[in-house]
Amino acid sequence: MDKYDDLKKKREASKLGGGQKRIDKQHSQGKLTARERVYLLLDENSFEEIGAFVSHRSQDFGLDKVHFPGDGVVTGYGKIHGRLVYVFSQDFTVFGGSLSESHAAKICQIMDLAMKNGAPLIGLNDSGGARIQEGVVSLAGYADIFYRNTRASGVIPQISVIMGPCAGGAVYSPALTDFIFMVEDTSFMFVTGPNVVKTVTHEEVSSEDLGGAISHAEKSGVNDFTSPNDLDCLRNVRDLVTYLPQNYSEQAPIKKIRSSFDEKKTEKIKTILPDNSTLPYDIREVIDCVVDDDSFKEVKSDFAKNIVVGFCRIDGKSVGIVANQPTVLAGVLDIDSSRKGARFVRFCDSFNIPLLVFEDVPGFLPGTDQEW
């Protein structure tokens, strides 16, 4: 019985992460905790945790005196709409979600299992980067993660969700994955934060301008999907997964709502397309006429808007759309739109998702910037 009580106590402690005070702080900033996020992301009662009692090994800089079961990351597997996924969720209440040797080993274990069992990997990131107290041991942990990201690329879908101020090593891995989700106002991605930027280059910039959700959606194109809060973001991740197969050797699931061929809908195209080929029209209206109702999920909608890419369903089957957008720069191709299109096509190619291409393009954008 003593042992059972001991186990119960350990379980309770691991659920509290860095303690109630820090959980309250997280909530007061409009952020959910690592555990709340996992429960909302996955189907009810489907989460199986692994490594809840793992703790850090380092003894330096006072780390021998304080231990948090789980070491700042919740890892395990569960289901989304009944399909298996592997998940890690970093806990900002424990050393700012920073990555230690043990924390990295937990993430690597989940990545290995996802590869072995051919299921998507979803990372909920909320981390200040390498755990400073651990030095190079922590950095080596990043190498192990990045190596696995590259091995998994094109084999299983990898999704990164940025849900807090992610700095340093915490942002390299997401950049290697297939899709990035960000939350407005509370999530940031930067290799070096505003203070380091100011010290080194004397440039003054806010966190928001440097690496907020909007900056990465509009300027760098790193952010694929923006959400107003954690809840909406996690719902959005669940939705994206429905368009994807489990791995490179499978097909995406079929979600049949109704036959996609609707004469009234396709007739509408005539009213959208102008008689004069130099006049603009919104290609998204044409896409809506062709695909299953409300099934178009645009990717990188705020970046390189002269091309539109995203997933849809046709007769219930997942299809990738690539379309020139005549309302922006007359749909011309430039470097950003080419890279946006190419990256999306490469993903669809890796995961057996057929492409539907709408072409209406005047050519390449001329100019020195483009040539250089």
Cα torsion for 185, 186, 191, 197, to the nearest 10°? 50
Residue 107 CB: number of other CB atoms within 10 A?
Answer: 23
Site for ligand HXC in 280-309 (CB under 6 A): none
Pattern 39-68, binding to ligand HXC, x per CB under 6 A? ------------------------------
Q: Which of 23, 111, 119, 167 binds ligand HXC (CB under 6 A)?
A: 167
Measured CA to CA, the distance from residue 76 to residue 78 in angstroms comes to 7
* Residue whose CB is less far from ligand HXC, 125 or 325: 125
* Residue whose CB is less far from ligand HXC, 128 or 174: 128
Q: Which of 70, 78, 123, 169 binds ligand HXC (CB under 6 A)?
A: 169
* Residue whose CB is less far from ligand HXC, 106 or 313: 106
Residues 6 or more apart whose Cβ sits within 8 Å of residue 86: 76, 77, 110, 111, 113, 114, 117, 119, 120, 121, 122
Q: Which structure tokens are listed for 66?
A: 């304080």
Q: Which of 69, 70, 123, 168 binds ligand HXC (CB under 6 A)?
A: 168
Residues 6 or more apart whose Cβ sits within 8 Å of residue 136: none
In whole angstroms, the minimum distance from the beta carbon of 193 to ligand HXC comes to 5
In whole angstroms, the minimum distance from the beta carbon of 132 to ligand HXC comes to 4
* Residue whose CB is less far from ligand HXC, 96 or 310: 96
* Residue whose CB is less far from ligand HXC, 166 or 240: 166
In whole angstroms, the minimum distance from the beta carbon of 14 to ligand HXC comes to 19
Measured CA to CA, the distance from residue 179 to residue 222 in angstroms comes to 9
Pattern 86-105, binding to ligand HXC, x per CB under 6 A? ---------xx-x-------
Site of tokens 């909320």: 126
Q: Are 89 and 105 in contact (CB under 8 A)?
A: no
In whole angstroms, the minimum distance from the beta carbon of 136 to ligand HXC comes to 10
Task: Please give the sequence-ordered ranges of beta strands (E in DSSP) within the chain, or none if there are none.
Answer: 48-50, 73-80, 83-90, 121-125, 158-162, 165-167, 179-183, 188-190, 225-227, 297-299, 307-314, 317-324, 355-358
**Total number of residues that touch ligand HXC (CB under 6 A):** 15
Measured CA to CA, the distance from residue 72 to residue 99 in angstroms comes to 8
Pattern 116-155, binding to ligand HXC, x per CB under 6 A? ------------xxxxx------x--x-------------
- Cα–chain center distance at 323: 23
DSSP category for residue 364: B
Please provide the DSSP assignment of 152-200 as one string.
HTTTS-EEEEE-SEEEGGGGHHHHHSSEEEEETTT-EEESS-HHHHHHH
In whole angstroms, the minimum distance from the beta carbon of 340 to ligand HXC comes to 27
In whole angstroms, the minimum distance from the beta carbon of 131 to ligand HXC comes to 4
Pattern 184-223, binding to ligand HXC, x per CB under 6 A? ---------x------------------------------
- State the residues that interact with ligand HXC by CB under 6 A: 95-96, 98, 128-132, 139, 142, 165, 167-169, 193
